[in-house]
Each structure stands twice: as C-alpha cells, then as structure tokens.
Structure 1
Amino acid sequence: MKTYCSMLINELQPNNLSNMNLYPHTVERLCHQHKTLKCYIDDLPPEAIYNRLSSDKFSIHETISYLTRYHHIFLNRLVRMMDEVNPYFEVYKPDDDSEFHFTCAKSTGSLLHELYRLRSDIILRIENLPSENFARVGTHSVLGRMNISQWLEFFLLHESNQLFRIFKLAGGFWSAELGQQNNVIYLPRLSNYIDELAV
C-alpha cells in the first residue's frame, strides 16, 4: 500500500506543479527529512543525549524538544494564514515560550513520537489545502512576506539546520573525553541564544 507521501510525490508531475506550487523535492523533504534524526541518535547513550557539551548551547534532547515545539508553532502559523489576511509573526524564541519548558520535560522517545505525529498533521494539512490557498501569505518579522510554499521551504531549511546541529553534537560526544562531559541539561544558557534564524 502506497503511503501518502509516495502518492503525493507521484502526483506532482511538472504539469501539476502550477496547481500545488510545490516541487517534488520539497514534498520529499517534507515527508522524509525528519526521519534522519533517529539515525543520528540511535547508538548514543543517555548522557550523550541529555548532557550539554557546552553550557550555553542546547543538548541533543533540548534540540529535539525545540524541533518538536517548532512543529506546533508552524502548524499554528499555517492555521493563522488560512484564517487571517497576511498575519504577522515574530521570530520564534524558546526563551519566550513557556510551553517549550514543558516540552523539554518529556522523554526523548515521547518527543520523537510527538514529532512524527505532528509531521503527519502538517502533511495532511498541506494535502488538503486547496491549490489557490498556496498563494496566501504571512509576514515574518525578519524574512518578510512569504506565501505558503515559501513558508514550507523556510520550515524545512530551519529543520535541516537543527538536524545538522544534532549530527555535530553526536560526533562531538564521541570525540570528547569522558571527563569533559559533566554538564547537565538545565544549565542556564545565554538569553535568546537560539531562535528560528540561528545559524
């Protein structure tokens, strides 16, 4: 039985692109990019996931929490763009989001389940979006006005940057000496150090 993603990718032939305003490679990334996360952390011990390698940077668990919470933020933005005329969105900063701290308190396993479920919700929302609604816009405080397709590209680029962070943190754990890994997850960090535009 074909998955929704494989059917959607097959439907997005060049003659249909103008209707959906999504390229096949964008759909492919939307359907599969997040799944690489599990490959990066599968062989890591808990201390590699929950401990910080640097006191002012997120741990792997905190980064996964951030990615999970950001799925909620993105879904909310999609809903507002459907309901409002050109809504305005500030840069998302977890320091300003009380829900982020509740998300961090969950286990990594439960966060992965939540992230997968939220990704399915986003995919279904995109699937059910009438083609004319892809032209609807929302304005980002830094990136300016973007239509739905551009917001989706931003979401995927932002996610890939966070996945690269996790990839580097996993490698950093194995290369660091055990004696240097004594930081804990809830050490104070620099205010506003990470936001959706952080490099």
Structure 2
Amino acid sequence: MNLNEYTLERFANQHKTIKNYIDDLPPEAIYNRLNPDKFSIHETIAYLTRYQHIFIDRLNRITNEVNPYFEIYKPETDPDFAFTCAKTTGSLLHEMYRLRGNLCLMLEEMPSEHYARVATHAVLGRMAVNQWTEFFLLHESSQQFKIFKLAGSFWSMQVEKHPDIIYLPRLTNYIDELAV
C-alpha cells in the first residue's frame, strides 16, 4: 500500500507555510525566546530541519531492518542539534526545502512492498511507513502551530509595550534570504 495522493501533497507542501508565518517579523522576534523555557521561532525551525534528517534515517532503517525500535527524538540529547541551531533561519529553510524534496523522492520511489514494513515508536507503538509519514506530518503541523502562536505573541507584546505605535510589515523590496 503506497501513500495516498493527499498525504503526498501535504508532505510536499506543508512545510512551505512557515515562511508566511515569519515573513514580517524582525530578527528579535525570530531569534529571541519569548518564554525562557520554550524554543524560539528559530530554534523551532532548527528542530524541524533536524527532524527531517532523523526521519530520513528512520525510513532507511525501516526499509533495511526488521521492526526497528525508535526512542522519542529529544534535541537536547542530539549533538547535531546545536550545530543546526547555529545556522541562519534562511539557511535552515533552504535546507528544509532540500531535505523535503529528497524525502518526497524517497517516498515516491519506495517499492510498494516497503510501505508494509513496520517500526516501533517508544510511545506510539508499532507503525507502518504510511503511519510514520502521517506522524511526521502531524508532528510538523504541531510545531508550525507553535511558530504561528509565537509570531502572534511577539506582535501582541509589542503593542502592549507601545500602544500608540502602529506596526507595519517590513518593506518587501529587499533581497529575501528566505525565498525559495
């Protein structure tokens, strides 16, 4: 059983909405933590980018091993996460787009019999490739909602600090490092 066309469509495009959420934000809104205990927008994007590498590794293991077991991904225990966070937001988005293209090809070219292969997640249990893909999309969607809320919270906090100032989006006649 292959992935259905709607799942592939979501997989190919869902991540592209992140740019819309952050387009008009100044760097301090992207790089600073609004809550010291929670990731910033930039760190969340780094997390999503790094998680694509994790998902590629998991798919490779699922297709090459019998029922591999995966712990919950925790960025604080991943030595490569700090390196990923050190990149600019623009370079992270470019990397995310590139990796997603690779992942789409991987899923589209996967032999039909591999879609029945399973792996076990520490919390979610045993899942086939199509379920792992849905989990990936739901997890990514949850992180995107956090970015959406953080962007809105930044503007709300700015209005509270300066209620007499009207905030307008930045001019768009600059070279957009986030453009694809």
Q: Which amino acid aligns with 1:49?
A: I
Q: Equivalent residue of 1:38, what SS?
A: helix
2:145 — aligned with what? 164
Other structure's SS at 2:107 match: helix
Partner of 2:17: 36
Matched with 1:51 is 32
The equivalences for 1:133-172 within 5 A come to 133-172=114-153
SS at match of 1:177: helix
Q: CA RMSD in A?
A: 1.3
Task: Determine the structure 1 residue equivalent to 2:45.
Answer: 64
Aligned residue for 2:106?
Answer: 125
The residue aligned with 1:9 is: none
Please list the CA deviations of residues 73-99 of structure 1 after superposition, one character each: whole Å capped at 9, or x if unmatched: 000000001110000000000011010
Give the TM-score normalised by structure 2. Answer: 0.87
Residues 131-153 of structure 1 show CA distances to partners (whole Å, capped at 9, x for unaligned) of 11100011001100100000000
Q: Which amino acid aligns with 1:114?
A: E
| 1:98 and 2:79 correspond | yes
**CA distance, structure 2, for counterparts of residue 131 and residue 177 of structure 1:** 52
Amino acid at match of 1:82: T
Runs ≥4 in structure 1, deviation > 6 angstroms? none
Partner secondary structure for residue 141 of structure 2: helix
Counterpart secondary structure, 2:67: coil
Letter in 2 for 1:141: A
CA distance in 2, matches of 1:67, 1:119: 11
Shift, 1:27, TM fit: 1.2
Q: What does the per-residue CA deviation read over 1:57-113, in whole Å, with 9 as the maximum and x for residues that have no partner?
A: 000000000000000000000000111000000000001101000000000010000
* Aligned sequence identity (%): 66
Does residue 77 (structure 1) correspond to residue 58 (structure 2)? The answer is yes
1:26-85: per-residue Cα shift (whole Å, max 9, x none)? 111101100000000111100000001110000000000000000000000000011100
Per-residue deviation at 1:177? 3.5
User: Is there any run of 5+ residues in structure 2 with no aligned partner, and where?
Assistant: 162-180
Matched residue type, 1:68: T
Aligned length: 161
Q: How does 1:3-22 map to 2 (within 5 A)?
A: 19-20=1-2, 22=3
User: How far does the alpha carbon of each residue in 1:172-191 deviate from its partner, in whole angstroms, 9 at most, with x for none?
Assistant: 000003797xxxxxxxxxxx
